[in-house]
């Protein structure tokens, strides 16, 4: 472990200010300051509130991570930060902080992709990822199937949602049922008392002529809302637990079926599931059952590493340092629509000369 890189990672793509410190594939600190309670009354994340919360939480959260890890900032081998995708203002706070720390400490800076970080975080729990690995990333902003041949440079998108992300559908259905925000945990808990087969909600893009690896949850969300509305109009009691369980069953059925198919079609025998929705108990259960039947090894991080956090950014940054990837320039910018094919934003020759002239 003595030669393994010691990297600090900063994550601010949405409403969590996350700072992680990783030594190789060993997690030393995972400090999170969440502004979720500030957004709950609005039923969703308000970008301006998120950005302000990041600004206020940044320095104390970094210091908390350093204290937890028992190190000084000068001990670090690099600083990694989520450069995108995400909320532009929120990303900008994290990128600005990372550049300031890297500049002041004279450490290499790595602007990395949020989605690739969600894949790489599994290394902190289950060891280094096999190459290739299939990744199913499901969260409030993303539902994607990705094939990773090299987590630091080669992540290829196979499919994604064409409308709502899975986590977004959970939030909207939770609102229809009068549950709390964020919807995922509330639907999961409520569904445990329901019957997942009680209501036959639709499975989007599941016909034989539909795109094999794309997802659609908008129709499902609408079907749930109309079913509940019809019950209420008729003066009947809404079986909230059954609705939650049946909705959850529809989502997890499509996600796991397409993920296993992608593994089979591409000859990949390892499936990694990440993102906030990966904490869902039914998704984990169904994925394990289907992977076992298909002879696929399933890797899912513990729930605390599935949601947005700095540890995942530090994990990818550590891999960047270990594989001697080119650092980012100090004019690194936040990119709210950064494609997953850009795992990190490198230090170009032009940027190198510009940086040296500034020095």
Q: Distances in Å between the alpha carbon of 101 and those of 21, 109, 183, 254?
A: 14, 9, 35, 43
Q: Please check if 137 is assigned to a binding site.
A: yes
Q: Are 73 and 101 in contact (CB under 8 A)?
A: yes
Do the annotations mark residue 114 as ligand-binding?
Answer: yes
Nearest to 299 by CA among 311, 288, 313, 312: 288
118 is in an annotated binding site: yes
Q: Would you say 86 is a known binding-site residue?
A: no
Q: Please indicate if the annotation marks 140 as binding a ligand.
A: yes
The Cα–Cα gap between 346 and 25 comes to 22
Tell me whether residue 138 is annotated as binding: yes
Question: Tokens representing 323?
Answer: 């594989």
Residue 17: what are its φ and ψ, rounded to 5°? -90, 105
- 275 is known to lie in a ligand binding site: no
357 labeled part of a ligand binding site:
no
List, as one string, the DSSP characters of 190-251.
Answer: HHTTS-TTSS----TT-STTS-SS-B--HHHHHHHHHHHHHHHHTTPPP-HHHHHHHHHHHH
To the question of whether residue 267 is assigned a binding role by annotation, the answer is no
Task: Please work out, in degrees rounded to the nearest 5, the angle formed at the alpha carbon of residue 264 by the alpha carbons of 262 and 265.
Answer: 65
Sign of CA dihedral 135, 78, 4, 307: negative
280 is known to lie in a ligand binding site: yes
User: Annotated binding residue at 77?
Assistant: no
The answer for residues whose C-beta is within 8 angstroms of residue 34's C-beta and 6 or more apart is 15, 16, 17
214 belongs to an annotated ligand binding site = no
Q: Which residue has the tokens 């969440």?
A: 34
How many Cα atoms within 13 Å fall on the side-chain side of residue 245?
15
Binding residues: 114, 118, 137-141, 171, 184, 188, 280, 308
Binding residues for substrate: 137-141, 171, 184, 188, 280
Binding residues for Fe cation: 114, 118, 308
């Amino acid at each position: 472990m003595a030669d393994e890189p010691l990297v600090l990672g900063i994550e601010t793509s949405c409403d969590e200010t996350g700072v992680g410190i990783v030594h190789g594939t060993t997690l030393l600190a995972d400090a999170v300051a969440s502004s979720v309670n500030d957004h709950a009354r609005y039923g969703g994340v308000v970008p301006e509130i998120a950005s302000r919360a990041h600004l206020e939480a940044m320095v104390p959260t970094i210091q908390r991570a350093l204290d937890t890890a028992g190190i000084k900032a000068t001990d670090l081998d690099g600083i990694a930060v989520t450069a995108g995708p995400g909320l532009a203002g929120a990303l900008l706070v994290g990128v600005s902080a990372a550049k300031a720390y890297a500049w002041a400490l004279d450490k290499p800076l790595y602007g990395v992709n949020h989605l690739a970080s969600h894949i790489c975080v599994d290394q902190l729990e289950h060891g280094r990822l096999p190459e290739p690995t299939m990744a199913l990333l499901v969260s409030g902003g993303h539902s994607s199937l990705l094939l990773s041949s090299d987590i630091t440079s080669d992540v290829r998108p196979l499919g994604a949602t064409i409308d709502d992300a899975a986590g977004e559908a959970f939030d909207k259905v939770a609102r229809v049922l009068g549950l709390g925000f964020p919807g995922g945990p509330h639907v999961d808990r409520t569904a445990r008392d329901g019957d997942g087969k009680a209501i036959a909600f639709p499975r989007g893009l599941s016909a034989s002529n539909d795109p094999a690896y794309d997802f659609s949850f908008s129709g499902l969300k609408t079907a749930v809302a109309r079913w509940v509305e019809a019950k209420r109009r008729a003066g009947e009691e809404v079986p909230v637990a059954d609705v939650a369980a049946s909705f959850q069953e529809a989502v997890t059925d499509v996600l796991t079926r397409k993920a296993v198919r992608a593994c089979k079609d591409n000859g990949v025998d390892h499936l990694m599931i990440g993102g906030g929705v990966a904490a869902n108990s039914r998704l984990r259960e169904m994925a394990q059952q289907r992977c076992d039947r298909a002879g696929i090894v399933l890797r899912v991080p513990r729930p605390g590493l599935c949601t947005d956090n700095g540890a995942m950014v530090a994990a990818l940054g550590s891999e960047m340092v270990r594989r001697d990837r080119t650092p980012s320039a100090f004019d690194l910018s936040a990119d709210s629509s950064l494609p997953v094919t850009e795992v990190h934003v490198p230090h170009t020759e032009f940027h190198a000369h510009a940086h040296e002239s500034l020095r």
